[in-house]
Amino acid sequence: MKNVTIYSTPTCHFCHLAKDFFKANDIAYAEYDVASDIEKRKEMMDKSGQMGVPVIVIGDEMIVGFDKPVVAKALGLI
């Protein structure tokens, strides 16, 4: 299984959708709240070049936003 990381904020609707999708598919993930964790916010910005959330990292692949088919493919679910 690939490592999954999500950079999110508590008020982000698409972040909640992504985390619900991970839970529904028994995908373990690391979560970083970039609203309160300044170090992780900087890390996310350095990696993605932007401030928008969610930023999802699956293995070596970075996905900006929650595009369910793209995320499912990156996880090998489809």
The residues that bridge with 2 in the sheet, in sequence order, are none
Return mean pLDDT, the chain: 96
Give bridge partners of residue 76 from the DSSP assignment: none
> Can you give the pLDDT at residue 5?
98
CA distances from 47 to 4, 34, 60, 61, 69 (A): 15, 13, 11, 11, 22
Instruction: Assess whether pLDDT exceeds 90 at residue 1.
Output: no
Residue boundaries of the structural domains of the chain: 4-74
Q: What is the mean pLDDT of residues 2-18?
A: 97
**Which CATH number describes the domain made up of 4-74?**
3.40.30.10
